[in-house]
Amino acid sequence: MKVFKLDDVYSKLEIPCGKHADEVIITDDKVFIVERTDRAKLEDIRKLIETINCIMGNERLQSELLRRSSIKGITMIVIIHSPRRIDSEVIDKLRCDVSNLNRSLRGRGVSVRISRRASCYEDLRVIVSH
């Protein structure tokens, strides 16, 4: 398992992608995209989706994060790491955006899923280890 702070990765690669999630955790066949926040907002959803779009559209970023030649077979899992309950409006927006993203990624061998909320580091560790 590898953990990447996206501010550092984007800076190192000089990637001009705008808003992005806080970190990416890589396991053998999964990419966990984590947004840490005190209270989940619609802006946090935009950051998660923008991060996926940036990874899918930037081969240098794919290579840096995944250390493999192809992204096929990868499952991307978005996680909101927040101690508070997530409002239904935010969850609905996330479901809608992930559904649209999966439609656009059809045929590319990549799927995107939503994980349950991680309210603490132990929750996050359990989600990533399964």
For each of the domains in the chain, give its residue range(s) and CATH number, in order of start.
2-129 (3.30.870)
Phi-psi category of residue 8: left, alpha or beta, with phi > 0 → left and psi -120 to 50 → alpha: alpha
pLDDT of residue 72: 79
E strands along 1-130, which residues? Answer: 2-5, 23-26, 30-36, 74-81, 110-114
pLDDT of residue 8: 94
Q: What's the average pLDDT block by block, 10 residues per block, for the chain (130 residues)?
A: 92 87 90 93 94 90 80 88 89 93 88 82 80
pTM comes to 0.89
